[in-house]
A and B are shown apart, each in its own frame.
Chain A
Amino acid sequence: MLVVHPERCTACRLCELACTFHQDGVFHPLKARLTVGIFPEDDVFVPIICEQCEVAACQEACPSGAITRNLETGALEVNTSRCVGCRMCVMACPFGTMVHVDVDGKMQKCDLCKGDPQCVAVCPWGALEYVEPNDAALARRREVARRLAGVLKGVRV
């Protein structure tokens, strides 16, 4: 799965570009399967990705059963022959990571590039990482623990 380290992100948006170039053959940030939230007022940058949720709202919402899990990568994928373009998944996804691709009027989402995520490959700063789901969960717990430890010690991290 993908893991984000927002503190490493520089807001270059290369990930958005690489995503659509790989998936759709054009540079089209609006249709990228991930988006870098850029808040220039505070210089905070947060890439928002598909979490490939265990119980996925998009999948639950889909009336035609078009969203299925690729067991090899763990990604939820859109079966375009089944997708009717009703956009229920767009409304359901809490992260807003479903996109509507103009070419065929079907929905698209992050499929982890079938296990070779291009956003990760292009990111110059390691702000996006591709890891085993269990490792990711562990890493995240450790990260939280590290922050807590910092707070407990009264130092800034």
Chain B
Amino acid sequence: MYGWTGRMLRVDLTAGTATAEELCPHDLHVFVGARGLGSKLLYDAGAYDVDPFAPENPLIFATGPLTGTYAPSAGRYNVLCRSPLTGAIAASNSGGYWAPELKFAGFDLIYVTGKAAAPVYLWVHDGKAEIRPADGLWGKTVSETEYAVRARTHPEAKVACIGPAGERLVRIACVVNDRSRAAGRSGVGAVMGSKNLKAIAVRGTGPVRVADKEAFKAARKRAMEKILTHPVTSAGLPAYGTAVLVNVINAHGAFPTRNFQTGVFPEADRISGETLAKEYLVRKKACFACSMACGRPTAIPSGPYRGAGEGPEYEAAWALGADCGVSDLAAVTHANWQCNEMGIDPISYGATLACAMELYQRGYLSKEQAGRELRWGDGHLLVEGVRLTAFREGIGNLLAEGSYRMASEFGHPELAMTAKKQEYPAYEPRAVQGIGLSYATSNRGGCHVRGYTIAPEVLGIPEKLDPLVADNKAFWVKTFQDATALVDSSGLCLFVTFAIGVPEIADLLAAATGEAYTAESGLLAGERVWNLERMFNLKAGFTRADDTLAPRLLSEPMPEGPARGQVSRIDLMLPEYYRLRGWDEEGRPTEATLARLGLRW
């Protein structure tokens, strides 16, 4: 096989077994890999019916056919399971070096079920695997775990693990690999914790092969010419990381501030990528096979927040910054390092803390209940809260449940800025209409990387749309969702799509695998994945009523800035979106749509 290894590792932690299996070549071809293939396996396993923390919930680590090659930024994998935060399908994407190492070890994916009687870690090396006791590892931070596991396995082993948050089933816990690359969202780390699985170390000494060497070289060359000349991928991301967006988004009045009470943060520049580069950036750092190097190793030499680590990137700078009203970049940076070490999603953490702050502001959550004051802009609380959340201590035990459950407990679920119980990222749906539809219809709940319409609506890529207009946004959201599903299934980083599109990706896939991917069939594969995820959610009990946003965004006009007076027009966009998708009025794929995509209930 080319591109794919064609093999997976099946691990049953209850039985204590790990065995290699062949993957179905047809499934590989039509679901491509990573997110698509993982979704197919989850669906077939009936994971929509299982409790997310039950041993039966499969936890899948899946690479794509391009992972491990020198295709642009092709070092990624997805972690999939039924999410304990949303109850929907979870597919969280991460970079670094772990995923290609799994390919070099001879596997496309690892499929974990069951629950170990005591904490264990998995040691995968060149086609073999062992389940080993994680003595002394439980309770360790991410970097401590990584170093300890490497010492017990191989100096070159790559490690994906959970921190204390995943161990304590914190619903916003992530899986972290290479110390600071995270499969961040939807609480996949908590599912790993529920299985008593602390880490997966991988070491591979084999090659990854492609079908047509010359065609692959040529396809890469065409893609790289675009990536190396596009201003975002060749200059913006390397120089300032993703946080180059802070000032841009704020200028559009789309930078959610203090739990989405407004879209303008006057102190935005203090937490921007430009300021970070000036103050704390050590150097730029790349993931495997990536020319964009948006990674941000940072260090703070002195003061209460001194230390070193990685980040923040844009989403974290916003969630830990503007959303909590914090403008102290040192506090934001240090809180981000803490999130890396504790294994917590900084988007959901920051957004949940922001929600708690608003509950407090409005008197719905008292000082006695919180055990302390929860004031906007409190950097110390921001930093300390990460550890409290990971260990479920004090206020942290509330935050550990995510904003929807927390706000519901105090009788105000409407103050949770979530879709399908997952916190929104850093763009205001009242100021950017398409992204609101994208959040509302995202199969994993509030999320920007399922259909990043910020590219056309704000950045003008591939063409400029008016962010305040709802017309025709359904078409853009659908197209971006399908294309993104293809990107995530191939093993590429989404950021390459600032410069390249489905035709370039299809060429790479065809040359790598030897299968006849074209722009049309590639986009169709993405659409297939999207519909399969939708079917998973429908079977999990989601309905049309879940394709919506927090009431504030639908009824309270934006108070200030360029989007002043606007609300999100989901009501207009959603029916058109269903129609374009070939779904009925309840948001279910019609038989004709399923037939077109080759899917069955």
Which A residues touch B147, using CB under 8 A? 41
Which B residues touch A122, using CB under 8 A? 70
The answer to whether B460 has its CB under 8 Å from any CB of chain A is no
The answer to whether A106 has its CB under 8 Å from any CB of chain B is no
Which B residues touch A4, using CB under 8 A? none
Which B residues touch A10, using CB under 8 A? 283-286, 290, 293, 295
The answer on a CB contact under 8 Å between B291 and A27 is: no
The answer to whether A25 has its CB under 8 Å from any CB of chain B is yes
The answer on a CB contact under 8 Å between A25 and B104 is: no
Residues on B lying within 8 angstroms of A by beta carbon are 68-70, 97, 104, 147, 178-179, 205-210, 213, 217, 228, 282-291, 293, 295, 297, 308
Known: A14-B70, A17-B69, A40-B179. A29 touches B285 (CB 8 A): no
The answer on a CB contact under 8 Å between A27 and B228 is: no
Interface residues of A in 32-47 (CB under 8 A from B): 38, 40-41, 43, 45
Interface centre among A10, A14, A38, A41 (most CB of B within 10 A): A10
The answer on a CB contact under 8 Å between A14 and B289 is: yes
Known: A11-B286, A13-B289, A17-B70. A26 touches B208 (CB 8 A): yes
The answer on a CB contact under 8 Å between B178 and A25 is: no
A21-B213, A26-B207, A30-B104 given; 7 more Cβ-contact pairs under 8 Å: A10-B284, A12-B289, A27-B69, A28-B208, A29-B104, A41-B147, A124-B291
Known: A26-B209, A40-B178, A43-B297. A12 touches B286 (CB 8 A): yes
User: How many inter-chain contacts with C-beta < 8 Å in the A-B complex?
Assistant: 70
The answer to whether A18 has its CB under 8 Å from any CB of chain B is yes
Which A residues touch B293, using CB under 8 A? 10, 12, 124-125
Nearest Cβ on chain A to B144's Cβ, whole angstroms: 12
The answer on a CB contact under 8 Å between A30 and B208 is: no
Tell me the dominant secondary structure on chain B's binding face.
loop
Give the complex CA separation of A40 and B288 in angstroms. Answer: 13
Which B residues touch A59, using CB under 8 A? none
The answer on a CB contact under 8 Å between B287 and A12 is: yes
Give the complex CA separation of A4 and B273 in angstroms. Answer: 29
Which A residues touch B288, using CB under 8 A? 12-13
Which B residues touch A29, using CB under 8 A? 104
Which A residues touch B297, using CB under 8 A? 43
Nearest Cβ on chain A to B304's Cβ, whole angstroms: 23
Which B residues touch A11, using CB under 8 A? 285-286
The number of chain A residues with a CB under 8 A from chain B is: 26
The answer on a CB contact under 8 Å between B179 and A20 is: no
Interface residues of A in 102-154 (CB under 8 A from B): 122, 124-125
The answer on a CB contact under 8 Å between A30 and B285 is: no
Residue of B nearest to A15 (CB): B70
Give the complex CA separation of A20 and B290 in angstroms. Answer: 17
Give the complex CA separation of A30 and B285 in angstroms. Answer: 21
Contact with B along A38-71 (1 / 0, CB 8 A): 1011010100000000000000000000000000
Instruction: Give 14 CB contacts A-B under 8 Å.
Output: A10-B286, A12-B290, A12-B293, A14-B289, A20-B207, A21-B213, A24-B207, A27-B208, A27-B209, A31-B207, A40-B178, A40-B179, A43-B283, A124-B291
The answer on a CB contact under 8 Å between A27 and B284 is: no
Nearest Cβ on chain B to A16's Cβ, whole angstroms: 9
Residues on A lying within 8 angstroms of B by beta carbon are 7, 10-14, 17-18, 20-21, 24-31, 38, 40-41, 43, 45, 122, 124-125
Which B residues touch A12, using CB under 8 A? 286-291, 293
Give the complex CA separation of A65 and B40 in angstroms. Answer: 56
Give the complex CA separation of A17 and B289 in angstroms. Answer: 8
Give the complex CA separation of A23 and B206 in angstroms. Answer: 15
The answer on a CB contact under 8 Å between B206 and A28 is: yes
Which A residues touch B69, using CB under 8 A? 17, 27
Which B residues touch A45, using CB under 8 A? 285
Which B residues touch A7, using CB under 8 A? 283
Give the complex CA separation of A17 and B286 in angstroms. Answer: 14
Which B residues touch A13, using CB under 8 A? 97, 288-289
The answer on a CB contact under 8 Å between B213 and A43 is: no
Nearest Cβ on chain A to B392's Cβ, whole angstroms: 29
Residue of A nearest to B146 (CB): A40
Give the complex CA separation of A38 and B284 in angstroms. Answer: 14
Known: A12-B293, A30-B104. A43 touches B285 (CB 8 A): yes
Known: A28-B207, A30-B205, A40-B178. A18 touches B282 (CB 8 A): no
Contacting residue for A27 out of B70, B282, B285, B287, CB 8 A:
B70
The answer on a CB contact under 8 Å between B104 and A124 is: no
Which B residues touch A27, using CB under 8 A? 68-70, 207-210
Nearest Cβ on chain A to B480's Cβ, whole angstroms: 26
Nearest Cβ on chain B to A140's Cβ, whole angstroms: 22
Which A residues touch B217, using CB under 8 A? 21
Please provide the 6 A-B residue pairs with the shortest distance between their CB atoms, ordered closest to farther.
A12-B286, A28-B207, A26-B207, A124-B291, A17-B70, A10-B286
Give the complex CA separation of A104 and B285 in angstroms. Answer: 36
Residue of A nearest to B298 (CB): A43
Give the complex CA separation of A37 and B97 in angstroms. Answer: 13
Which B residues touch A20, using CB under 8 A? 207
Nearest Cβ on chain B to A32's Cβ, whole angstroms: 11
The answer on a CB contact under 8 Å between A43 and B282 is: yes
Which B residues touch A14, using CB under 8 A? 70, 289-291
Nearest Cβ on chain A to B478's Cβ, whole angstroms: 33
Which A residues touch B207, using CB under 8 A? 20, 24, 26-28, 31
Nearest Cβ on chain B to A5's Cβ, whole angstroms: 13
Give the complex CA separation of A25 and B228 in angstroms. Answer: 24
The answer on a CB contact under 8 Å between B228 and A124 is: yes
Give the complex CA separation of A13 and B70 in angstroms. Answer: 9
Give the complex CA separation of A41 and B213 in angstroms. Answer: 36
